[in-house]
Amino acid sequence: MTEAMQIFGSHDEATLAQFRDVASRARHAALMADGHVGYVMPIGGVAAYQGRVSVVGVGFDIACGNAAIRTDLRLADLGDSPPRIHAALDALADDIQNSVSFGIGRRNRADDAPVDDPLFGDAAWLAVPGRARHALREKARAQLGTVGSGNHYVDVFVDEADRLWVGVHFGSRGFGHTVASGFLALSQGKAWGEHAPEREVLLDLDAPLGHDYWALMTLAGRYAYAGREWVARKVVRLIGGREQALVHNHHNFAWRERHGDRDLIVVRKGATPAFAGQLGFVGGSMGDDAVVVEGVDGTQAPGVDHVQRRALFSTVHGAGRVMSRTRAAGKVQRRTGRVLQRGQVSPEMMHEWIARKGVILRGGGTDESPHVYRRLPDVLAQQQGTIRVLHTLRPLIVVMAGAREFDPYKD
């Protein structure tokens, strides 16, 4: 069935096997340079279907994505000397940690949380089975603007012109996870809320089940956008700055797109849309630079448009893992705290790396250390012909959930 495949970068055999399996059911498929093994579909995978959408392709953290705001402040606005700037950043890191909810199952207790957003009155809620509808809506309302754990973060950056930026990475939290799990169960003949194995399910969008999934996936996208923008803008206010520009993208989502002479459903799982002129914010790791990128205009560079088409106008969403969480951090028995398996990355290794970079870290664990990721410049180089880098953002502050905190809603 596959008419075209494109692979950027080099990958292990397990990732390639997942990609080939997904591609066998898609019209067109591409694997970005930050790819690694995921649930059924690899992270960094892109697949285009004719009138169908993949539930596990979009994933359990529906609409996970990145947002970055450029402020009107410069680094020198925080203080007139390096010690004063550092003290201001240190205090700001505490403010972010105390003002934004990080971790699993968190409620947003802020008095300015957007709990009355119009999305809560959207007709798409009717697609949730009646008994579950109220509970899911209230959970979503309570969690809107919470960041979660895993690789989700709030960062403060400085760019090449010493301008301050705020960046965030998270998705639709328990709302998206429940929707994905619910439709995975329904598609396998089970009841909403019943556990179902993670297997490829392609829903026909002209059928009631596919129609309802698409409506709730789209709503989860609105939910994630509202949450990320609220968090990012709250941090801008904590800094005392004003928003000058916003860059915002999902990277776990499905879109209706026109490619060539066909209308297709394009699923991106850990991949950033990168049409000509479209901006994207791509993170590295807690101890590496991030970037703001722009999809290149293929009409102005011979051969580039061909690469863009083969990539389905997509690019990387991050640096890409090279080490599993268990391999990095080890395994601990939750009840007793007993170490069952030692990790390959020690806290000392992680803190030495971020100290060299000058990063102020709150939270975070060795499973998110820079050691477990590729280097972002390398994967960007392997995406040549899809994007250009507009800004390089050096992290000043990284705030994440605490170490060893499991989050079922991470991407």
To the nearest 10 degrees (0 to 180), the angle between helices 130-143 and 173-187 is: 150
Alpha helix segments (H runs only) across 269-345 = 304-310, 325-329
84 contacts: CB under 8 Å, gap ≥ 6: 78
Residue 22: which domain range? 4-402
pLDDT tens sequence across 88-124: 999 999 999 999 998 877 788 888 999 999 999 999 9
pLDDT at 337: 65
Nearest to 28 by CA among 205, 258, 184: 258
CB 282 within 8 A of CB 383: no
Give pLDDT, residue 408: 47
Beta bridge partners of 165: 70, 157
Give the pLDDT of residue 323.
85
Is 336 within a domain? yes
Number of domains forming the structure of the chain: 1
User: pTM for this structure?
Assistant: 0.93
* Nearest of 166, 149, 148 to residue 157 by alpha carbon: 166
* Coarse DSSP helix, strand, coil percentages of the chain, rounded to the nearest 5 percent: 35, 30, 35
Q: Give backbone dihedrals phi and psi of 255, rounded to 5 degrees, phi first.
A: -130, 150
Count Cα neighbours of 366 within 13 Å in the Cβ-side half-sphere: 16
Supply the CATH number for residue 209's domain: 3.90.1860.10
Q: Using CB atoms within 10 Å of the CB of residue 359, give its burial: 0 to 12 exposed, 13 to 18 middle, 19+ buried.
A: buried
Distance CA 201, CA 188 (A): 8
User: Which long-range contacts (C-beta less than 8 Å, at least 24 apart) are formed by 21-25?
Assistant: 21/200, 22/47, 22/54, 22/57, 22/200, 23/47, 25/1, 25/49, 25/200, 25/202
List of residues 6+ apart from 118 with CB closer than 8 A? none
| DSSP 8-class letter at 81 | S
Q: Which amino acid is at 96?
A: I
Q: At 249, phi and psi to the nearest 5? A: -145, 145
Place of tokens 């997509």: 314
Give φ, ψ of 318 to 5 degrees: -170, -160
Percent of the chain residues topping a pLDDT of 90: 78
Extract the residue ranges of the chain whose pLDDT is less than 70. Answer: 1, 299-303, 333-340, 403-411
pLDDT, mean over the chain: 92
Longest CA–CA span in the chain (Å) reads 64
Assess if residue 410 is contained within a domain.
no
User: What is the residue whose two structure tokens read 């820079």?
Assistant: 370
Give the residue from 50, 62, 73, 66 showing the smallest Cα distance to 259: 50
| Residue 300: per-residue pLDDT | 66
Residue 224 CB neighbours (<10 A): 27
DSSP H helices in 144-240: 173-187, 208-239
Q: Is residue 409 one of the residues assigned to a domain?
A: no
**pLDDT of amino acid 409:** 44
Strands 387-402 and 290-295: antiparallel
Contacts of residue 240, Cβ cutoff 8 Å, sequence gap at least 6: 73
Distance between CA atoms of residues 47 and 60, nearest Å: 17
Q: How far apart are CA 173 and CA 180, in angstroms?
A: 11
Q: At what angle do helices 208-239 and 173-187 cross, to 10 degrees?
A: 170
- 411 falls within a domain: no
Residue 306 inside a domain? The answer is yes
For residue 411, the model assigns a pLDDT of 42
The whole-angstrom separation of Cα 308 and Cα 291 is 19
